[in-house]
Amino acid sequence: MKSTVTIRGIDDVNDLLTQIAPRQAYNIMRATVSGIASDIRKSAKNDAPEDDGDLKKAIKAKRERGRRGYLLSTVRVDPSAFYWRFLEYGQGPDGEEHAMFMRAVEKFRMDAHRIFIEQFGKKWEAALKRAAKRAA
């Protein structure tokens, strides 16, 4: 027996998540915020300069503990690559401003709506697949 669900718009998604599955809604949104941070991390890694250290490996997205009602994920640089600040602001040995994080944030701001929809869609689809698998 195969069941189907028809969703006609954002109002249907909102009703489904708030009334039927509030806990799953929180988990999906937490995963979405984490996915957005991962996109920013990927962009910062692509813009990071090649160096002898492990700067690209040190850039990481981390899900943080948020306050009640708030979700939080950050993009950080491991303390082993402390010199990222000098490269970011042009105070490094080459004197060139690399601004990898500033560029990553600007790219996100310009395309935030698309990135959010894309990440939410991925996480929603994965949650539905998991729920269908458990039901079967």
pLDDT tens per residue across span 47-56: 888 877 788 9
Structural domain includes residue 42:
yes
- Range name among 27-36, 53-62, 85-94 with the lowest pLDDT average: 85-94
Structural domain includes residue 1:
no
pTM over 0.85: no
Q: What average pLDDT score do residues 21-29 get?
A: 81
Q: Mean pLDDT of all residues in the chain?
A: 83
Q: What average pLDDT score do residues 37-42 get?
A: 93
Structural domain includes residue 5:
no
Q: Which domain holds residue 124?
A: 10-135
Give the integer Cα–Cα distance in Å for 36 and 92.
29
Structural domain includes residue 18:
yes
Structural domain includes residue 4:
no
| pLDDT in the model for residue 5 | 60
